[in-house]
Amino acid sequence: MEKHYTDSKVKGVSTGTTILAAIFDGGVVIGSDSRASIGGEYVSSKTINKVIQVHDRIFCCMAGSLADAQAVIKSAKSHLSFHSVQMESPPLVIAAASILKELCYKNKDELQAGFLTAGWDGKKGPQVYVVSLGGMLISQQVTIGGSGSTYIYGYVDAKYKPNMTREECLQFATNALALAMGRDNVSGGVAHLVVITEKGVEHVVVPGDKLPRFNDE
Amino acid sequence: MDKTLRRGPERQLGVKNDTKSVFFININVNSLCVCVCVCVCVCVCVCGLQYDLSASTFSPDGRVFQVEYAMKAVENSSTAIGIRCKDGIVFGVEKLVLSKLYEEGSNKRIFNIDRHVGMAVAGLLADARSLAEVAREEASNFRSNYGHDIPLKHLSDRVAMYVHAYTLYSAVRPFGCSFILGSYNKDDGAQLYMVDPSGISYGYWGCAIGKAKQAAKTEIEKLQMREMTCRELVKEVAKIIYIVHDEVKDKAFELELSWVGEVTNGRHELVPKDIKEEAEKYAKDSLEEEDDSDEDNM
């Protein structure tokens, strides 16, 4: 976490963040908070969207330096759209994640950005991939990231079940984000959630006052 | 810019991706060739005249002769066929053995491009080997960039683009080989594509290249390949190669058989020895039957 604070002076705006993605029966939910801060002292934006669409059924969440993450996603988005046109079919989620991984790994000395990639494709259905800071790529059922994620590992481990319904998974994701935002000073604002299934994509925004409350408040 | 295309003609000239300088070099070579060949022209036969000296020249009736000559080079080589069935692909190559001193199994004409992709070639073998390397790099780079196996249509489009690049300049000659690519995976099923020296790629259910391609195509059309399995098809492929082999002109030959499909779990492999022997036996027996029936008819 120290590296994150000293680097913010060099890199400017950075995201203290909570991001998560989870697979349910028939789709995947990906979500994040909406706070951007400088040095953990000043909230530069209360309503930033960290869930970016890279293709029709593929979304990414950014973690780390916002500038680096935005630059990488911009390049990956254009590369992915060209790839999809060449293949004459919607891209696989693993292809999107691999493109991000190549960028992160080849430029690991300059970049400080990590991603969660979640989406649906015709070959393997709903999938979640994590591209970490140095460029490691792994596939998981549920994953959390960002500075706020440290406070909810216990909650996620205890409460996540495979093959939940869409409503159960949405509730799980909202609760997890609310708990993280409640304890992490650099995560907050609204909860942005995106539900991706074969049929389509749905955005759910839960404003701060509608977030679930827990016993300590 | 793409790594594969950069290895093409511009590199060989020692020139960067600068179309202007390539163009100038082309013109000089062309005019030189024209001067030299005006004298020789009288003896040259009907078609070419001075339009066939380089691949960068069209003839008045819209043909690029160098590319057509490259296709003739393919027709001088022995036959290769590839057939797609409902659960896989089978390749068969008639490999002529020019000398008894050759080691058995040398100078293979079926290559592995990736775990799930195989390639059978006809034409100049050296050209074919370098294209196999190109195809291997394409498949490998794709997997490295996108994390999954390359779809066969994309691979054949990419290699076809590379072959086509060599038909544009007078400083290089077109590749003198055609090849058939085949692959199988659970989601897309079996796929078969053929690329010829002009840089065109088509998808097929069955195709043949080489000297006996017309005869082979006739035999292939008789098959009901959409309903066959790989095991049945292996025998038919062996039979077709034996049928089109010309006993009079070319004496000894080796049959190369390979397949990829559900039977191999999606991996491209040479057909195992026992199945190959069974297929060859079936082929030889069918030939004898046909000979016998011919004799009866007489």
Which pLDDT score, from 0 to 100, does residue B134 have?
96
Token pair, residue B136, equals: 């291997």
- Burial (CB < 10 A; 0-12, 13-18, 19+), residue B78, is buried
In a domain, A136, yes or no: yes
Question: Taking a C-beta distance cutoff of 8 angstroms, is the pair B235, B271 a contact?
Answer: no
pLDDT for res B48: 66
**Residue in chain B nearest A101 by alpha carbon:** B145
Please indicate if any CB of chain B lies within 8 Å of the CB of A93: no
Q: Quick one: average pLDDT of A75-96?
A: 95
Tell me: the pLDDT tens digits for A142-177?
999 988 999 999 999 999 999 999 999 999 999 999
CA distance A114 to A6: 18
pLDDT tens digits, B237-256:
999 999 999 888 888 889 99
Options A6, A15, A17, A174, the catalytic residue: A17
Q: For residue A172, what are the contacts with CB-CB under 8 A and spacing of at least 6?
A: A22, A159, A160, A164
Higher local confidence (pLDDT), B275 or A7: B275
Domain span including residue A135: 18-208
Q: In terms of DSSP H, where are the helices of A23-91?
A: 66-87
How much is the pLDDT for B298?
59
The partner residue sitting opposite B148, judged by closest CB among A86, A88, A95, is A95
Specify which residues B83 forms β-bridges with: B90, B206
For the stretch A169-184, pLDDT in tens is 999 999 999 999 999 9
What is the tally of structural domains in chain A? Answer: 1
Q: Give the pLDDT of residue B15.
A: 39
Half-sphere exposure of A110 (CA within 13 A, CB side): 8
Share of chain A above pLDDT 90, in %: 73
Identify whether A4 is part of a domain: no
The total number of residues written for chain A in this structure: 217
Å between A96 CA and nearest CA of chain B: 7
* Integer Cα distance of A54 and A69 in angstroms: 13
Query: Quick one: closest CA in B to A124, which residue?
Result: B187
Q: What is residue B251's predicted lDDT score, i.e. its pLDDT?
A: 80
* pLDDT digit string, tens, across residues B137-194: 999 999 999 999 999 999 999 999 999 999 999 999 999 999 999 999 998 899 999 9
Out of B147, B151, B187, the one facing A98 most closely (by C-beta) is: B147
* pLDDT, tens digit, 9 for 90 and up, residues B9-60: 444 443 344 444 444 444 444 454 444 444 444 444 455 678 999 999 999 9
**Would you call A99 and B151 a contact, using CB atoms and an 8 Å cutoff?**
no
Mean pLDDT of B201-211: 95
pLDDT digits (tens, 9 = 90+) for B163-178: 999 999 999 999 999 9
Nearest to A62 by CA among A8, A10, A112, A25: A112
φ, ψ for residue B227 (rounded to 5)?
Answer: -100, 0
When the pLDDT of each residue in chain B is averaged and rounded to a whole number, the result is 86
Count of H helices and E strands in chain A?
A: 5, 13
Ranges B71-75, B95-99, B232-236, B258-262: which has the least confidence: B95-99
Q: Which residues pair with B260 in a beta bridge?
A: B89
Structure tokens at A68: 């680096």
ipTM of the complex: 0.83
For the segment B96-128, what is each residue's pLDDT rounded down to a tens digit?
Answer: 988 889 888 888 999 999 999 999 999 999 999
- What SS3 state is found at A113? strand
Q: What angle do CA B281, B284, B286 make, to 5 degrees?
A: 105
A149 located within any domain: yes
Using a CB–CB cutoff of 8 Å, tell me whether A80 touches chain B: no
Q: Which residue has the higher pLDDT, A75 or B291?
A: A75
> A217: pLDDT confidence band, cut at 50, 70 and 90?
low
Q: Extract the tokens encoding B276.
A: 């190959």
Mean per-residue pLDDT for A183-189?
Answer: 91
**Nearest neighbour of B145 by CB, restricted to A87, A98, A123:** A98
Q: Which of B230, B244, B245 is nearest to B276 (CA)?
A: B230
For B155, nearest residue in chain A (alpha carbons): A87
Amino acid at A186: V
We report the CATH number of the domain holding residue A69 as: 3.60.20.10
How many beta-carbon pairs under 8 angstroms link A with B? Answer: 26
d(CA A95, CA A107): 18
Q: Tokens in use for A157?
A: 């481990």
- Contact yes or no for A94 and B147 at CB 8 A: yes
Q: Which value, to the nearest 10 degrees, does the dihedral of the CA atoms of residues A35, A28, A71, A78 take?
A: -150
Q: Is residue A64 part of a domain?
A: yes
**pLDDT at residue A45, as a whole number:** 87
Report residue A149 as tokens.
């994620």
pLDDT of residue B110: 96
